[in-house]
Amino acid sequence: MKAASLSIEKVEFIHVKVETNNSFEGDFSSEFKQLDFPFKGVTFRRRMSLQYDKAKPEDPKSFVFGLNVMLSEDPEDAENVSLPYNIDVKAVVYMRYESDQLSGMERFRAIRATGYSVLYGAIREMVSNLTARAPHGMWSLPSANFNTAANDEAVRDEEKRQELIAKKSSLAPKKPVRRVKKSTDS
């Protein structure tokens, strides 16, 4: 087995809110009380963040990727689907890129794709664990594909990194030009 060039250092939950929706009327015919929820008409809201050492943008190696997933009913929308639980969970993953194989946009894409996979999986697990003992039964969030988001966001990440590099080089002190006098001694 070959060691991966991207290592996961740590996953942390910043906040976890899983609140029972008392107005939910689901099908509780299952003896195991695991919800069979179609997620049709449900809007997932997500926020994400990516941090790295902005003082050294030339070759970033350490990254902190954050993902916040929120599901809640919209009180303004009478036709809205009734959710069994209101969810608001934010987690971060600390990653280190150990290789020079990927650079620029490709490195950001790998960081974001891995971050989404690791954190969404951890958030799904947290929601399932907490709702397993909740009144409406265990609720598993659906699987999700973040590849398009990772690609699109990586392009913007690389543009911002290039801007940082350009700004840093324009602010760098200019080396004085030394003029050497020719000696007239012969």
Asked if the structure places residue 1 within a domain, the reply is no
Q: Is residue 178 part of a domain?
A: no
pLDDT in tens, 65-90: 999 999 977 666 656 678 899 999 99
% helix / strand / coil in the chain, to the nearest 5? 30, 25, 45
Q: Is the C-alpha dihedral spanning 19, 20, 23, 26 positive or negative?
A: positive
- Does residue 186 surpass a pLDDT of 80? no
Tally of domains within the chain: 1
The answer as to whether 176 is a domain residue is no
150: domain range?
6-162
Q: What is the pTM of this model?
A: 0.83
- pLDDT tens digits for 127-167? 999 999 988 889 999 999 999 999 999 999 999 999 999 99
Q: How many CA atoms lie within 13 A of 93 on its CB side?
A: 23
Of 140, 142, 141, 137, nearest to 29 by C-alpha is 137
% of the chain with per-residue pLDDT over 90: 62
Give pLDDT, residue 181: 65
117-128 pLDDT, tens per residue? 999 999 999 999
The pLDDT, as a whole number, for residue 44 is 87
Q: Per-residue pLDDT averaged across 100-114, rounded?
A: 95
pLDDT at 129: 95
Residue 70 included in any domain: yes
pLDDT at 1: 44
pLDDT score recorded for residue 33:
63
In this structure, is residue 49 part of a structural domain? yes
Report yes or no on 174 lying in a domain. no
What is the domain-level CATH number for residue 104? Answer: 3.10.420
Domain contains 177: no
Helical pair 104-131 and 147-171, crossing angle rounded to 10 deg: 130
Asked if residue 37 belongs to a domain, the reply is yes
